[in-house]
Structure 1
Amino acid sequence: MFLAYAAYMDFTVHQMDVKSAFLYGKVQEEVYVKQPPGFIDPNFPDRVYKLDKSLYGLHQAPRAWYETLSKHLLENGFTRGAIDQTLFKHKEEKDTIMVKIYVDDIIFGSTNPRLCKEFEEVMRSKFEMSSMGEMKFFLGLQVDQSESGILIHQEKYVKEILTKFKMADSHPVKTLVEVRHCLTPDVDGESVDPHLYRSMIGSLMYLTASRPDIMFAVCLCARFQANPKLSHLSAVKRILIYLKYKPKLGLWYPKTDLFDLVAYSDSDYGGCNLDRKSTSGGCQFLGNRLISWQCKKQSTVSQSTAEAEYIAAALCCSQVRWIHHQMLDYGITFHETPILCDNTAVPHITKNPVQHSKTKHIEIKHHFIRDCVEKKHIQIVEVKTHKQTADIFTKTFDSTRFAQLVEMLGMINFQ
């Protein structure tokens, strides 16, 4: 979201790191530690030290550091986000500087380069900093900034996991899962090492931070972690082989004037071979920049496609409302955000307050979407199936359709 805003405002994102950040935090509680080896007082070997500042490994350390940092920024004219407590901003006439904090890693950007330099001086006045210049690598994500936009990818990590699981020399394939996959519990199948299987799933889940194209396939395989079989391992290896085919695929955030919030919601119907539950899928765009996506098996068995789509739309609506609140800290307000759904019944159910035989069994928590429609926070808009971007999070496709959906997500294969 921060990077999408940076692309929209056309400013460069910089990065800095605080050296020994936790040691700056003041401990409010009464905490004692043993005398460390090599520093034991020979006269009082059984005594302990009372901490004045936090130490690495202390549960209170991250909170103490955050309080020290936020206090320093607030004293120097910054305001803290009301919703996102890790976002700080400072406005000076028409220019604004935005600062995002993740423990001791800090990224920031401004419409005026002078404000960035002043921010670095403010930080160095109290903390020992290392300025890393333009952001290149942050929280496992590689970020390439150019005059035309921002690219987010994990090419380095893809190569690492292909080498780790000995798949670097495999022959690539163009799709993640067979169109009519037969992934079942496979009770009579040959068992495989569960630790290896879970390690592969965990590695792939980390990759979904920048690769929404593999989200559905990874979530599908993750359902069999309790007792993995050879058929499940083959499916996971196919995902790795696909990554071999497209290791340089990333999210592209162009520098355009578009910044409207648009969401897509979709569901399959009884697609899970374990319990016949449906899968909800959704994605949200700021302009044409994908910022959020979901793939989740529903908690109940749906009795119709309309019910499955309605539950998926409610999940998408909750994510849209979260984005609404987050963007308030950026000074942007959205109204009547369209949620695009390819089922004709969903708009009618959201507008019909009367419970009848087809909807009275649906859990109450899903009906909050009606309230959001009535208050004009969102609107349900019907979209043709061939334009439904969220399809990629709910089912499998052939190589042609899959490539179209990847392109619709705003992902590009960079050089």
Structure 2
Amino acid sequence: MDLPPGLPNQNNKVCKLLKSLYGLKQASRQWFEKLSNSLISYGFSQGKSDCSLFIKKSTTSFMALIVYVDDVLLASDSLQDIELLKKFLDEQFTIKDLGPLKYFLGLEVARSHTGISLCQRKYTLDILQDTSLIGSKPAAFPMESNLKLAIDDSAPYEDPSSYRKLVGRLLYLTITKPDIAYSVQVLSQFLAKPTVNHHKAAIRVLRYLKATPGQGLLFSSSSELQLKAFSDSDWASCIDTRKSITGFVVFLGNSLISWKSKKQATISRSSAEAEYRALATTTCEIQWLLHALQDL
């Protein structure tokens, strides 16, 4: 690193860092290494399917902890173990306890006897407010089923950066709204040179969100521990590349836990080939979920 201001300029001299500084390339890696080493020393084991998942099992209790940068979610069947772990983490890092999970990274969490509900109502309303569509007329569905968007199907949109920002926010919204996954996947293909028609299609998605801002996911408390998956694909639907689109959903019992809508990497020469590619992608997702369930 460069010498800090105030030190005499000496040729062929460098500074040795005694600790990682915030904002450096290696800072995030050093932080996660310190946090994971502390958790492992406490008795946690790191998940094999997800390195941000930590699990601690004993004869009397079970504890799962998941990390996103410096935000931590903790679940356990023992309140005493939770309090002991929070005390340990506070001694190591000086944490801020936000109490029972209600709001996390834009996700609103509600619990009842029927299960756990996830939605992004506030996040959705913020998007509508920022785009001045809070008073718009709601739409019944996010995108016309026969709509085929292309790269150069209309005049260029005057503000490409705002289109990219909007699509990025919609991508994060698909965490709890699988019903817009296909529409957002289509819109994200035109970030380089968005046109007026692309922007109109994005506005249609926002009008659909206006009708369902609080709609989300429900993880039922009575779900069976059985994975069920459904996959599908179209064939050569992309006008520009003639690539097919893979779509799948995975349920744990009757709770939706994973989904995807994505353009396939290669061109399929038949509808059967496109279906098999979609099935292979779905199988990979199921395999990862099985490893995650085995960790838990």
* Match for residue 94 of structure 2 among 125, 128, 139: 128
Judged with a 3 Å threshold, the aligned counterparts in structure 2 of structure 1 residues 184 and 88 are, in CA distance, closer, same or farther, namely closer
What is the letter of the counterpart of residue 19 of structure 2? K
Deviations 1:280-299 (A, max 9, x none): 10111222222211111123
Change (3 A) 1:85 1:179: closer
Give 1:65 deviation, angstroms: 1.8
Shift of 1:106: 1.0
Change (3 A) 1:185 1:123: closer
2:223–2:254 Cα contact (<8 Å) kept: no
Q: Is 1:46 the counterpart of 2:12 in the alignment?
A: no
Is the deviation greater in 245-254 or in 222-231?
Answer: 222-231
The aligned residue for residue 195 of structure 1 is: 161
Do 2:185 and 2:261's aligned partners in 1 also have CA atoms closer than 8 Å?
Answer: yes
Change (3 A) 1:69 1:231: closer
* Aligned with 1:304 (options 248, 258, 270): 270
Question: Is 2:241 aligned against 1:280?
Answer: no
Equivalent residues, number: 292
Question: Does 2:257 align with 1:291?
Answer: yes
Equivalent in the alignment of 1:249: 215
Structure 1: distance between partners of 2:184 and 2:156: 19
Q: Which residue of 2 aligns with 1:166?
A: 132
Change (3 A) 1:318 1:180: same
Out of 187, 197, 208, the residue aligned to residue 174 of structure 2 is 208
Structure 2 residue aligned with 1:98, among 64, 67, 70? 64
Q: Which moved more, 1:217-226 or 1:279-288?
A: 217-226
The alpha carbon displacement at 1:33 in A equals: 5.4
1:66 aligns to what?
32
SS of aligned partner of 1:126: helix
Distance change (3 Å), C-alpha of 1:171 and 1:305? same
Aligned to 1:35: 4
* Distance change >3 Å, CA 34–CA 148, structure 1 → 2: farther
Match of 2:110 among 125, 144, 149: 144
CA offsets per residue over residues 318-367 of structure 1, 9 Å max, x none? 1111212222211xxxxxxxxxxxxxxxxxxxxxxxxxxxxxxxxxxxxx
Contact preservation (8 Å) 2:148, 2:238: no
Answer whether contact 2:223 2:252 (CA < 8 A) is retained: no
| Structure 1 letter corresponding to 2:176 | S
| Matched letter for residue 143 of structure 1 | V
Identity rate of aligned residues, in percent? Answer: 38
* Stretch deviating more after TM superposition (82-91 or 285-294): 82-91
CA displacement at 1:49 relative to structure 2: 5.0
CA contact (8 A) 1:33 1:51 kept: no
Deviations, residues 107-127 of structure 1 (Å, cap 9, x unaligned): 111112111111112212322
The answer on whether the counterparts of 2:65 and 2:75 sit within 8 Å (CA) in structure 1 is: yes
Residue pair 1:33, 1:50 contacting (<8 A) in 2 also: no
**Matched AA of 2:4:** Q
Change (3 A) 1:168 1:115: same
For structure 2, the residue ranges without an aligned partner over 5 or more in a row are none
Tell me how far 1:313 sits from its aligned partner: 0.3
Quote the offset at 1:138 in angstroms: 1.9
For residue 228 of structure 1, report the CA deviation from its aligned partner: 2.3
Post-superposition shift, 1:239?
A: 0.5
Paired position in structure 2 for 1:86: 52
Letter in 2 for 1:126: Q
Aligned partners of 1:186 and 1:229 also within 8 Å: yes
After superposition, the Cα gap between the structure-2 partners of 1:308 and 1:46, relative to the gap in structure 1 and judged at 3 Å, is same
Which position in structure 1 is the counterpart of 2:195?
A: 229
CA distance, structure 2, for counterparts of residue 158 and residue 257 of structure 1? 28
Correspondent of 2:76 among 110, 124, 127: 110
Once the two structures are superposed, residues 370-402 of structure 1 have per-residue CA deviations (whole angstroms, 9 ceiling, x without a partner) of xxxxxxxxxxxxxxxxxxxxxxxxxxxxxxxxx
Q: Structure 1 228/81 Cα, relative in aligned 2: closer, same or farther at 3 Å?
A: closer
4+ runs deviating over 6 angstroms: none
Distance 1:73 1:178, change over 3 A: closer
Query: Which whole-Å deviations, capped at 9, do the CAs of 1:255-303 have from their partners, x for residues lacking one?
Result: 1151211111101122222233221101112222222111111233323
| 3-state SS of paired residue (2:179) | helix
Task: Work out whether 1:217 is the aligned partner of 2:183.
Answer: yes
TM-score by length of 1: 0.66
- Cα gap change, 1:59/1:146 in structure 2, threshold over 3 Å: closer, same or farther? same
In the TM superposition, what whole-angstrom CA distance separates every residue of 1:108-159 from its partner, at most 9, and x where no partner exists? 1111211111111221232211111111222332222233211111111111
What are structure 1's unaligned runs of at least 5 residues?
Answer: 1-31, 331-415
> Using a 3 Å threshold, how does the CA distance of structure 1 residues 76 and 272 change in structure 2: closer, same or farther?
same
CA contact (8 A) 1:184 1:274 kept: yes
Number of the residue aligned with 1:239? 205
